[in-house]
């Protein structure tokens, strides 16, 4: 996010859990504007063809993998792990398997 992701990560997390709907464009812009983000630059990137392509690629991937909830983790492009299973031994085994180990 214009090199500010690490600075804002905890605040974004808190905002979401405080009920700020960052999926709503107006709410997102308002929130970012209140956190010292250059909104002209952000909007140019946000509305760019490159971002549109990435969003479409993500939608296609989610549809292809039948991801319908979060958290979801895809390992090696073929193993879909949902919810609390995305931790610990199962995840370690799938990563090793995907790496061919």
pLDDT in tens, 34-86: 999 999 999 999 999 999 999 999 899 889 888 888 888 888 888 888 877 77
Domain residue spans of the chain: 5-47
Average pLDDT over residues 5-23: 93
pTM: 0.67
Q: How far is CA 45 from the centre of its chain?
A: 16
Q: Cβ–Cβ contacts within 10 Å for residue 94, how many?
A: 20
Torsion of CA 66, 69, 73, 79, to 10 degrees: -30
């Amino acid at each position: 996010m214009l090199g500010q992701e690490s600075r804002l990560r905890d605040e974004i997390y808190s905002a979401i859990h405080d009920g700020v709907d960052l999926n709503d464009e107006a709410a997102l812009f308002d929130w970012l504007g209140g956190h010292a983000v250059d909104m002209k630059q952000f909007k140019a990137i946000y509305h760019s063809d490159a971002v549109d392509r990435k969003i479409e690629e993500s939608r296609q991937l989610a549809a292809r993998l039948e991801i319908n909830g979060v958290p979801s983790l895809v390992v090696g492009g073929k193993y879909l792990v949902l919810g609390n299973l995305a931790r610990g031994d199962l995840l370690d085994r799938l990563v090793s398997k995907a790496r061919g180990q």
